[in-house]
Structure 1
Amino acid sequence: MMSSTSLPPSPEQCLVVGFGGICLDDLAVLPALPVPGDTTHCRSVEVQGIGEAANALTCLARLGVRARLISKIADDIPGKRILAELTAEGVDTSFLVVAKDGQTPSSFVMVDQSTRARSSIFTPAFLVMEPADISQMNLKSALEGARFVYFDARHTDTAIVIAQEAAGQNMPILLHAEKKRPELVDLLQLSDYAVCSAEFPQAWTDAPSMPSALISMLLEFPKLKFATVTLGEHGCLMLERSSDAENSLMGEEDADSLLHSLEQKKDDRVATPMCIPSEVVKLKANGIGTLTGRLFVCTAERIPPSELVDTTVAGDAFIGAILYALCMNMTPENMLPFAATVAAAACKGSGARTGLPYRTDPCLAPYLDEPAIL
């Protein structure tokens, strides 16, 4: 229930711990990608850290939430640059493992300024965060005080060790489910929230439609409170679990039909993100089962072509904003447009982090004064 007198928690009171891979990008913006034998001149060159968890935590830090990263770098120049950049952003790096040998992963990225097409040359470092690395740190200390724990599904064996500790301490877990891999089943079983790529739900479940795939996921993983699917310029879709007791006398509603009816309510004249929620209903997916819950459709911000620079970090910014919204007890109706707005802001800068907004950004003002739920 919404209270008009309650105030949201202060962001500084919240700590999110993230675990995942990390990399350093050399980003060159070119008038056009060169063809073999040609020479072209850079319009700009930037060196930026990248990595899904590191990007999401940087987003959180800019929004005022305390963020801590568990990852692994080498004791080399790219590793030191990554460490310095994260520290400057306010991300707690005290639990980064620094290998004395090896090489920090890096990429050389070329961006076509006119088409925004990207070509990358990735230098893998085979620098994998192993469970043995975790045994060398005090994992309880690394997780101490965490309001949420986030995994980008990299280094899965080690992620499971951390997730088991977090779950044992009743710390809610959010997982980014991007590609179907059998080893993700253990992380999904431990997760309270999932943010999925557009391909993941149906690839994981073999369901014939997105709504039926989300129902299948929430039935397979009873700990999941919601699963959200990012759809790029088409916005996002979310299924939130509700208590069966809330609608014990309600009839069933076909999930695909419900999604169609929600999508009919979109207003293409509105450039800002809008969330269209269903009522709590018993959702039916033929051949899969039923689930009591709410379905949400949220549009993306319509970014003018002149302002659209780079969509690289949109997904990570979206996840960072979802984690912020969870920390601040936002309703889904507020959380999803907020996350879409943060993702859109990130697309207006080049590279992984330039466009990530700060809490003081005027575009976020409509969302940050909402009261918390008691």
Structure 2
Amino acid sequence: MAIETTATTQVAQARVTVVGSLNMDLVVQAPRLPAPGETLTGYAFAQVAGGKGGNQAVAAARLGAQVAFVGCLGADANGALLRAGLETEQIDCTALETHAAVASGVALIVVDDASQNAIVVVAGANGRLTAQSIARHDAVLAASQVVVCQLETPPQAIHAALASARRHGVTTILNPAPATAPLPEGWLALIDYLIPNEHEAAALTGLPVTSPATAARAAAQLRDGGARNVIVTLGAQGVLTLLEGCESVYHPAPKVHAVDTTAAGDTFIGALAAQLAQGVTAADAMVFAQRAAAFSVTRAGAQPSIPTLAELQG
């Protein structure tokens, strides 16, 4: 395995560090999502930077945080473009490793006329992130106020990142996406903010999650299991929050004309991280994040749809 990086990472003076995935998104627009075995004619194509980690890092950077990224790319054209895109956003890529023997991650996305999507992800270099990778860049995590993780990279690396952040007294956010089963034993105690969508909350708990009321039951189970705060995003229905020391609160979604929902959840998480890193209360940070996510669905694409702080304040 060839890694084009130095063994010692320069400490990034970042308020938010994102540990996670970078993908090149290949996006097709079609009248509807295809059925199994069906060939459907689309009418538009775009290639844009994505990956949950990349999207959340860009959102945090555009919405007021200094950001560092910990992850892996391939030594290919997509990898060069993804790195350049982060650097354009002033994201510190010191801890972004390049692996010569594997391709960068890609995602194949179909978006229909109702703004719903279907996504297939090939992890590629994202699968090379390890606990050893996290150890190489421990100083980056220690220099942060908030560390954000997802589940598009190997679980050993994510657990190592959460444990490192906890050891350094850094606030942790886990977006458990994709989630197909409960988290491993001991994980919830490492998480300050657990942010699943309704499908992920159901997978984590085994409970049906289709409404604010059912989301509240799932959130209570997850908080009882050790997560300090649980926020369940419910798409067009809004957000259910169960914050430390509080009862659950339902926040309806702002009314907007949705064009593409691809990066809405990632925008929410990046916005929340940026606010928490600045010392904003969890309740106020959630309201800001919901506004940012609502703005993002009014534009097409993943990272192209993420608003800037100036746009939200305008």
* TM-score normalised by the chain length of structure 2: 0.83
CA-CA distance at 1:202 after TM superposition: 4.4
Q: Deviations over 1:80-133 (max 9, x none)?
A: 111111111121111011001111121343434x33354556445364312233
Task: Report the equivalent of 1:163.
Answer: 162
Trace 1:6-17 onto structure 2 (pairs within 5 A). 15-17=15-17
SS of aligned partner of 1:189: helix
Aligned-CA RMSD value: 2.7
Question: What are the ranges of 5 or more consecutive residues in structure 2 without an aligned counterpart?
Answer: 1-12, 209-213
- Identify the match of residue 149 of structure 1 among 144, 147, 150: 147
Shift of 1:31: 6.2
Shift of 1:41: 7.0
Does 1:299 pair with 2:252?
yes
Q: Secondary structure at the match of 1:82?
A: helix
Question: Counterpart in 2 of 1:111?
Answer: 111
**AA of the residue aligned to 1:81:** L
Partners of 2:275 and 2:285 within 8 A in 1: yes
Most deviating of 294-303 and 310-319: 294-303
The question of 1:217 aligning with 2:222 is answered yes
Report which of the two structures shows the higher radius of gyration computed on alpha carbons. 1
Change (3 A) 1:337 1:132: closer
In the alignment, what sits opposite 1:238?
241
Question: Does the alignment pair 1:54 with 2:60?
Answer: no
SS at match of 1:303: coil
Change (3 A) 1:70 1:203: same
Counterpart-to-counterpart distance in 1, 2:252 and 2:14:
28
The 2-side partners of 1:182 and 1:297 are apart by 24
Shift of 1:14: 6.0
Instruction: Please tell me the residue identity of whatever aligns with 2:154.
Output: H
How far apart, in 1, do the equivalents of 2:264 and 2:88 lie?
Answer: 21
**Aligned partners of 1:30 and 1:42 also within 8 Å:** yes
For residues 279-300 of structure 1, what are the alpha-carbon distances to aligned partners after superposition, in whole Å with 9 as ceiling and x for unaligned?
A: xxxxxxxxxxxxxx23221111
Unaligned runs of 5+ in 1: 1-12, 243-292, 366-374
Which whole-Å deviations, capped at 9, do the CAs of 1:140-171 have from their partners, x for residues lacking one?
32224200111112311011122222111111
Aligned partners of 2:143 and 2:88: how far apart in 1? Answer: 22
AA partner of residue 297 (structure 1): Y
8 Å CA contact 1:16, 1:146 repeated in 2: yes
Q: How many residue pairs are counted as aligned between the two chains?
A: 293
Residue 358 of structure 1 corresponds to which residue in structure 2? Answer: 308
**Structure 2 residue identity aligned to 1:298:** H
Cross-structure match for 2:22 = 22
* 8 Å Cα contact 1:298-1:336 kept in structure 2: no
Q: Distance in 1 between matches of 2:175 and 2:266?
A: 9
Shift of 1:74: 0.7
| % identity of equivalent residues | 22
Give the partner amino acid of 2:238.
G
The equivalences for 1:224-263 within 5 A come to: 224-242=227-245
1:333 Cα shift? 4.3
Instruction: Give the whole-Å Cα distance in 2 for the aligned partners of 1:21 and 1:210.
Output: 27
CA distance in 2, matches of 1:38, 1:225: 46
One of 286, 296, 313 as aligned partner of 2:263:
313
The change in CA–CA distance for 1:115 and 1:299 in structure 2 (over 3 A counts) is closer
TM-score, normalised with respect to structure 1:
0.70
Structure 1 counterpart SS, 2:310: coil
CA 160–202 in structure 1, closer or farther in 2 if over 3 Å, else same: same
Q: Separation in 1 of the partners of 2:200 and 2:33? A: 31
CA distance in 1, matches of 2:98, 2:140: 15
